[in-house]
Structure 1
């Protein structure tokens, strides 16, 4: 099958080969997100290990969350650097390197001596490792979306992207399960003493395994086609983006804002908000968070598949409406029906399919020569800004009304729908290659 401008080259192998590609990509993404989130789940224990015991507990906790936030700050820079090389040197090399850059710091965190051994060197080393993790996660999601979509057969790019997104959210679920099991089989004292290291060691070892397996993946057909036609951008891809694709960048940042609102407000912040606002037990909120994440994983895969056959604009309106409705169901109805939080959390997760629509829209908004950089710039900068600001905004609004989280999600859902509606869909479903005339140097 010959490739023509605007058409996807022949698929890169048999169905079995494609399934292997999607499985390895999703597995690596899940492990990277697992490595990234377990730090938050173990923040209290880490604070006791890596900061002076003479400090107040709240100060140590704040310093630990500062280290967690440092990972987010490193995301845009790491993502842009890796995206540049992904657009210029190849998707596969960067996709493999991102797993290594996540696995090694995670493994070292599990082996790092605490403050009683290294003194001030302990938190400083931890900061450096956390920054490396942030740089890795900044390249993983955009790189993964580009890689699987360009390997997908015609008309299946949305489904492939949904599978990868499901793998990323599955990593959060995996982290939650591992921490729950850890606390179930070990005493609190044992976890605080040495047990906290186990999730990091497991993540590091499995991450290295994923890196080895990814070496067997093939370069994407789209990049090989660009390379053979000498269509790779000779100038900085970011420069091309800022000159020719500003609208795509702004619309992609708007949709990513909605993605962060869904994940942060409906999944990550839900347990502490429900405990504080409505005095729900910690055990019930943790179960609800697990169920919401599982349902979110199913939802993003389903919406990704639908994007192959339905218009993005129509799906955006539907998914945006469902997202707002799910938020009000979770924060508006669950408190008035004691014991039903888990069920409403499941509803909110199923209504969060907009998360799976975001990468599909971004992939179609950017041509192949700057696709990796376009996704990385839009996604990472938006996530760094709005992912960091959302908890603060919710904290300010909650004293005004307990429905503040739902109102926030509903408003940002409108932002995402508008962003998706006006996003330049340069590529239709299954079309991931443009002619060289689309890429002025």
Structure 2
């Protein structure tokens, strides 16, 4: 029997993979650049205060706004993606993210225009969040609906490579800037360069996406006249269990990622007197490892039960903070790197298979809406408040163990989501892909 993968032109399949990866890399470059800037310079520039902790928490509040905006993007773009198609929507999400990030690089600070600077920063951060909310679900489908459904874990992982690629680029650019100029110059104008460079990534992403055809799965749905008229209502009324499972499965990976790529930068500088560049370097090395680990764990999830693999990663995530923070007791850079690499490897075990796990919870005609809503609503619970909660918990208790307890709580929620989730049925999608290829 001819495989679904062979039914699709290999060049189109590779192009879809590249389009999925490049778009999410851009949007997570934007998010990562903001995350690093929020942990280091935005507190003083946009939220000046005599208390460093207060300024940092205010900056992290706008970090959370990006997550809180994602459900709107998932609602609007997810619905349009199931009605109009994957490709058209992904062009618009890419443009929205790129323009918002570029404008952050031009934004006047509090010293120039007062409180209006913070308002404009929040609005642009909100626009970033809306774009990411619509991007992820479509990017996953762009690669996975071109590929063999039996290898969905691997093909869908293209979108999952985007976050570490974007994080690596953003941290690399910011580390290079902060390492080659004075502290005063970096704080004054150097950080802006990282945001302005997003224009290059936007142009590259558009060049790839505009050359793509619509995915075979959506094309067949459109040919059959099966496109939903009210996909959000259908998901909420007919696929509630899938939505609940998708939301909960994402909570622990989001919290883990926020802890080790965002909050740890603040922790090591304020609690251990380590430098910002040391933290950024550790995150860069861990993200570089994830470039290989994301597709590797995605492929592994095609060979073993995806939910079981995710459960193993969830247990590891709950344990690792209790080993990581004692390792940092003497402020060793080498141990910081080792601990961050292991943490992000655990995150890859969770995040690599996650795109396939989420999308296969929903029927193909509702998949963009369902997976987008699950992805974005989970961010509101997990990723959005995590840096704020972690900062507040540390200030309240004054000991790192409370940070580990918070990760354990998120792991319990994800385990419940895995219990609610279902395993995939791919035979009908293989048939769909073959039918489209022969018409």
Category of TM-score, reference length = shorter chain: 0.7 to 0.9
Q: Shift of residue 24 of structure 1?
A: 2.5
Q: Quick check: 34-43 or 142-151, which moved more?
A: 34-43
Does 2:245 correspond to 1:245? no
Does 2:361 correspond to 1:375? no
CA contact (8 A) 2:253 2:350 kept: yes
Does 2:182 correspond to 1:184? no
SS in 1 for 2:352: helix
Structure 2 vs 1, CA of residues 418 and 38 (structure 1 numbering), >3 Å: closer, same or farther? same
State the match for 1:415 in structure 2.
413
Distance 2:22 2:428 in 1: 23
CA contact (8 A) 1:71 1:131 kept: yes
Structure 2 vs 1, CA of residues 405 and 430 (structure 1 numbering), >3 Å: closer, same or farther? farther
Runs of 4+ in 1 over 6 A off after TM superposition: 432-435
Does 2:171 correspond to 1:173? no
State the match for 1:127 in structure 2.
122
State the match for 1:358 in structure 2.
354
CA contact (8 A) 2:258 2:383 kept: yes
State the match for 2:436 in structure 1.
none
Q: Shift of residue 360 of structure 1?
A: 1.8
Q: Quick check: 202-211 or 280-289, which moved more?
A: 280-289
Give 1:30-429 correspondences, 5 Å limit.
30-43=25-38, 45-46=41-42, 56=50, 63-114=58-109, 121-234=116-229, 236-278=230-272, 280-335=274-329, 338=332, 339-352=334-347, 353-395=349-391, 397-398=393-394, 399=397, 401-428=399-426
CA contact (8 A) 2:20 2:140 kept: no
Distance 2:427 2:199 in 1: 36
Q: Shift of residue 430 of structure 1?
A: 9.2
TM (norm. structure 1) is 0.86
Deviations 1:328-368 (A, max 9, x none): 33234453794422122222222221122322211110011
Distance 2:45 2:321 in 1: 37
Provide the aligned C-alpha RMSD in A. 3.0
State the match for 1:27 in structure 2.
22
Aligned residues: 427
TM (norm. structure 2) is 0.87
Distance 1:155 1:199 in 2: 39
SS in 2 for 1:340: helix
Instruction: In structure 1, list runs of 5 or more residues that go unmatched.
Output: 436-441
Q: Shift of residue 133 of structure 1?
A: 1.2
CA contact (8 A) 2:28 2:166 kept: yes
State the match for 1:438 in structure 2.
none
Structure 2 vs 1, CA of residues 67 and 342 (structure 1 numbering), >3 Å: closer, same or farther? closer
Deviations 1:192-216 (A, max 9, x none): 3332221111112321331233111
CA contact (8 A) 2:164 2:291 kept: yes
Q: Shift of residue 93 of structure 1?
A: 0.6
CA contact (8 A) 2:60 2:387 kept: no
State the match for 2:437 in structure 1.
none
Distance 2:116 2:277 in 1: 36
